Structure 1
Amino acid sequence: MTKKAVAVLCVFAVIAALFTGCKSKVPEQHELVLQTTAQVTEDTDNFKISYSQSDSLNPFEATTLNNQTADDLVYEPLFRIDESFEAVPEIASSYTYEDAHTLSVTIVSGLKFSDGTPLTAKNVVSSFYNAQSSPRWKNSLTPIYSATATSDTAVKFKLSYANPYAHQLLTFYVAKNSSKSKYPLGSGKYKFLEENGKLYAEKNNEYKEKFNPRFTKIQLVNVPSAESINNALNIGNISYAYRDETNETVARLKCNKKQVNLNNMVFLGLRTTMGITSNADIRRAISLAIDRGTLAKSAYQGYAKAATSPFNPMSKIGRETAIFTDSADTAAAKQAIAKSGYKASQLTLKIVTNQNENKIALAKLAAQQLEAVGFKVTVKSYSQKVFNDALKYSNYDIYVAETKIPNDMRLSSFFDKSGKTHYGMKTDSDTAKLYKAYINNGGELGKFILSFSNEIPFVPVVYRKGVICYSKAMHGDMQGYYGNFFANIDDWYYN
């Protein structure tokens, strides 16, 4: 081989070695950068949330939305309800219905509270009984009357009636020494800590999963009133808050916003026992004349979803039982009026509401939609006391109201005499009987829905939404939702 050829080969060998060397070093440099970034981004100062010092942070005593949101950092439930209203196991690992009235839940083995002590089935049972008498869960847990630990990792719940969705009610927090401590211990991502006269939520090193948040310490700032929370968000005194107010107020907040699905139904209650609305054709005409999509966009500025079913349209049962459309069907509404036998001069309606601005806006828009098919409508907004009296003494044809549907999707409050939303409704109607058969005796859901669409005992209008507000200076994909407000907090950061 000539000297020239040898020289050329040497040059190629050097070039090849350089490229090979570069390729082998790039992953090492990249990995080093990521590790360094993870080490230097720990943040103990920037992230702040509000709480009410005058209210308890004990999860079974807290009454303010402020403190209930803060508790979500520290405590975990057996199940969380996701944005499609399906139960997602948290402390629970599995569940089974042994029979129509017995629900057994197995919890994850090896769980610990933030002090390192084991979380067992006995803690679940004691927390259940505390939740039964708590402001937050006592109403939703009424279909479950007892809980028993059958082993360290198994709990048996006894049900008041056959309820295939009862596991979705097990969203109460599990805590240790809940009746003895100002800040009961939890098993969540953080733990409460008092330090130098300030209150913090500090990273829980006993958390069951790998958890490496930037925010290792979160300051809780005493901001007691809703108006003060909004001001604190606007001037940057707090970084994050869940808001469940009128949408006019939310619109004025200077923050990033994420809509949150709620199981709060806004509906038109109808006086089915007397007057013009005792006629089923008139009730159908009212439902057909209502443009639910417009009411969601206008009365609630888009912070609502049209109720195409008595059940939440975001849920599986809601999608399977859709009987209404987003838009009005004025032609069908006029046909229903004609079928009713009422004359044009008799088509008068009185709508009443309380002084919530969204409900007033909804009532006025609904009145316009009803007038478009031939009704003559008056709208009255009352103080809460006068509104309650109007319901009690049937001084209305239609009323605008809102109710929180429990996570098992039961509508019993509309069809039971003891229910809070039964005003104006016949609790012995065919629809009421079919619903009770469905709930208590395994009756067919389809029969209830068909009867509901014919009778229209009330008019579901929209399912309202809440909003998570967070600082514009904060980064990361916000995945929080109602009941899991800090879902992916380990991905959030400030520059």
Structure 2
Amino acid sequence: MTKKAVAILCVIAIITALFTGCKSNVPEQKHELVLQTTAKVTEDTDNFKISYSQSDSLNPFEADTLNNQTANDLVYEPLFRIDESFEAVPEIASSYTYEDSHTLSITIVSGLKFSDGSPLTASNVVSSFHEAQTSPRWKNSLKPIYSASVVSDTVVKFKLSYANPYAHQLLTFYVAKNSSKSKYPLGSGRYKFLEENGKVYVEQNKEYKENFNPRFTKIQLVNVPSAESINNAMNIGNISYAYRDASNDTVARLKCNKKQVNLNNMVFLGLRNSMGITSNADIRRAISLAVDRGTLAKSAYQGYARPATSLYNPMSKIGGETKIFADSADTAAAKQAIAKSGYKSSQLTLKIVVNENESRVAIAKLVAQQLEAVGFKVTVKVYSQKIFKQALKYSNYDIYVAETKIPNDMRLSSFFDKSGKTHYGMSTESETAKLYREYLNNGGELGKFILSFSNEIPFVPIVYRKGVICYSKAMHGDMQGYYSNFFANIEDWYYN
């Protein structure tokens, strides 16, 4: 045997000894192969579609239809968004300070860019504010703020018409660039507008946050002009997503996945405080006690409403802290209030008027039944909107059913000021009205106002209505959209 062969045999023997002789002394170790992979988001440019109205503008300060305003939420951002608890969440703003009772200073996030890469500065905020002051969407809510001025590239100063510690919650207008010069003004949001071969799209804004990686990188806007057509388009799958106001009985007819959306829309009973049977505070209290708010929310709005247990939205902090009404009726207490009023049973007649809104007509009829259960005789009159307004103007009612959108700063001035749109039937010089103005303008106590309201009952809050987000059953991802942020987590949505 050659020396080379002997050497090879020795090496083999040594290796064998290492793997056998040492086996009993060294624990056996198992090594698993670990593969690390990075998941890649698959882009989808075809499946996700939303509606818009071609006859309406997509300029955020001119858009008047609900579907165009919803589409704008993909492209533009506000200083603040209002979350589902009606609290302000900073978006473009980074902080706010009340320098005094009439001056609000806002600092914006530095380094923000519009979709063309240009910087977003305080001057863009001020110019957008001026346009929002005359826009269909924000002109009423911005009335308590009469001016805005640039302090620096990142600081804006707003002057208030009166002391208002919640004024920052009104700064929900979109900030845009060149809005008066462009069909599709530039925004700083998740997407930007694109017109291609006669069709309108939004495509991903690459200047937006680095960690925004949606599957839907391009979304087609489908021309659907009317509210009824939007419902049909949703049902047959022509569009993938729609926000519906749900102010009428249409929710049950929508064939889609649904998410309820909190709104600050109060449905209430207006009462004629100055004359007739409802001028008596005990009668007004009896009406409030006889109303079953929980039943009204479930029946008239199919559960898309929340019983108004407070003057303020029960989902808000102030509403949770000022609960004065029960969900259910208290018929015994209502009868006691009637007895205290001094009215005889033959005098307990009431006329309810309501306009031709399916849900509010249902409210009127259910309230009539609940009032009859405690001894009232009630007639319900359903009028066209024109006749309904005349009935309010000339006090041709005892009770009327109406709805109003409470501003984001929770202001109730429209009920207690002569110029208010919902002051019909109510005295603007009552103790409750005076205490409210004292609270609003001079730092008066909220508790005194609430106590006075519960004694006088100038009107009866019934429910706070909800909206609904309707989206395709074929779409996946936890839907987290809400009223001021319809596409909150769109980056998590996808089709298989």
State the TM-score, normalized to the length of structure 2. 0.95
Q: What residue number does 2:4 align with?
A: none
Match of 1:213 in 2: 214
1:28-427 to structure 2, matched below 5 A, reads 29=35, 31-32=36-37, 34-35=38-39, 37-38=40-41, 41-246=42-247, 248-427=249-428
- The equivalent residue for 2:434 is 433
2:249 is paired with a residue whose SS is helix
C-alpha spacing 1:246/1:100, structure 2 compared with 1 (3 Å): closer
Deviation at 1:195, TM superposition (A): 1.1
Q: CA RMSD in A?
A: 1.7
Paired with 2:26 and 2:475, the residues of 1 have a C-alpha distance of 50
Q: What count of residue pairs does the alignment treat as equivalent?
A: 483
Distance 1:5 1:90, change over 3 A: closer
Q: Is the 2:260–2:466 contact (alpha carbons within 8 Å) kept by the matching residues of 1?
A: yes
Task: Give the SS at the match of 2:50.
Answer: strand
Cα offset, 1:427, TM superposition: 0.5
Deviation string 1:332-352 (CA, Å, 9 cap, x unpaired) is: 111100000000000000111
Matched, 1:468 2:469: yes
Is the 1:480–1:488 contact (alpha carbons within 8 Å) kept by the matching residues of 2? Answer: yes
Runs of 4+ in 1 over 3 A off after TM superposition: 3-6, 8-15
1:196 deviates by 1.6
- 2:9 matched residue in structure 1: none
Question: 1:209/1:417 Cα in 2 relative to 1: closer, same or farther (>3 Å)?
Answer: farther
Q: Kindly provide the amino acid, as one letter, of the partner of residue 368 in structure 1.
A: Q
Note the C-alpha offset of 1:245. 3.1
How much has 1:217 moved relative to structure 2? 0.4
Give the deviation of 1:210 after TM superposition. Answer: 1.7
Q: Are the aligned partners of 1:284 and 1:336 in contact in 2 as well (CA < 8 Å)? A: yes
More helix, by proportion: 1
Equivalent position SS for 1:214: coil
Whether contact under 8 Å (1:286, 1:333) holds in the other structure is: yes
CA offset at residue 15 of structure 1? 5.8
Amino acid at match of 1:443: G
Partner of 2:10: none
Q: Supply the distance in 2 between the matched residues of 1:336 and 1:279 (Cα, whole angstroms).
A: 10
Q: C-alpha deviations, 1:426-478, integer Å up to 9, x for none?
A: 01100000000111111110000000000001000000000000000000000
Structure 1: how far apart are the matches of 2:235 and 2:162? 48
For the residue of structure 2 that corresponds to 1:305, the secondary structure is strand
Q: Deviations over 1:306-362 (max 9, x none)?
A: 001111110001111110110111111111000000000000001110111100111
Distance 1:186 1:13, change over 3 A: farther
CA pair 139-6 structure 1, distance change in 2 beyond 3 A: closer
Structure-1 separation of matches of 2:119 and 2:24:
66
Aligned-pair CA distance for 1:13: 7.3
Aligned equivalents of 2:247, 2:356: Cα separation in 1: 11
> Aligned partners of 1:9 and 1:463: how far apart in 2?
78
- Find the aligned partners of 2:455 and 2:243 in 1 and give their Cα distance: 39
Which residue of the other structure, out of 7, 10, 13, is the alignment partner of 2:20?
7
Deviations 1:197-250 (A, max 9, x none): 111100000013421000000000000111111111011110000001345311
Secondary structure at the residue paired with 2:250?
Answer: helix
The whole-number CA distance in structure 2 between the counterparts of 1:194 and 1:396 is: 52
Q: Is the 8 A contact 2:246 2:466 kept in 1?
A: no
In structure 2, the gaps of 5 or more residues are 1-13
Higher CA-based Rg? 2
After the TM superposition, which of the residue ranges 62-71 and 192-201 deviates more from structure 2? 192-201
Distance in 2 between residues matched to 1:273 and 1:55, nearest whole Å: 43
What is the CA–CA distance in structure 2 between the aligned matches of 1:96 and 1:6, rounded to whole Å? 74
Identity of aligned residues (%): 83
Deviations 1:284-327 (A, max 9, x none): 00000101011001111000000011111100011111101101
Q: Tell me which amino acid in the other structure corresponds to 1:265.
A: M
Which residue of the partner structure matches residue 485 of structure 2?
A: 484
Partner of 1:386: helix, strand, or coil?
Answer: helix
Residue 483 of structure 1: CA displacement? 1.0
Deviation, structure 1 residue 9: 4.8
Read off the aligned partner of 2:177 and give its amino acid letter.
K
User: SS state of the match for residue 60, structure 1?
Assistant: coil
CA shift digits 1:134-174 (9 cap, x unpaired): 00000000000000010000000000000000000000000
Q: What amino acid does structure 1 have at the position aligned with 2:244?
A: R
Partner Cα separation in structure 2 for residue 306 and residue 194 of structure 1: 45
Instruction: Report Cα offsets for 1:85-107 as digits up to 9, x if no partner.
Output: 00000000000100000000000
Corresponding residue SS for 2:20: helix
Q: Is the 8 A contact 1:102 1:156 kept in 2?
A: yes
Residues 493 and 12 of structure 1: is their aligned pair in 2 closer, same or farther, counting only changes over 3 Å?
A: farther
Query: Could you say if the C-alpha distance between residues 327 and 9 of structure 1 is closer, same or farther in structure 2, counting changes exceeding 3 Å?
Result: farther
Q: Deviations over 1:64-121 (max 9, x none)?
A: 0010000000000000000000000000000010000000000000000000000000
Q: Secondary structure at 1:248's aligned position in 2? A: coil
Change (3 A) 1:5 1:241: same
AA aligned opposite 1:145 = Y
State the alpha-carbon separation in 1 of the partners of residues 210 and 323 from structure 2: 39
2:20 alignment partner AA: A
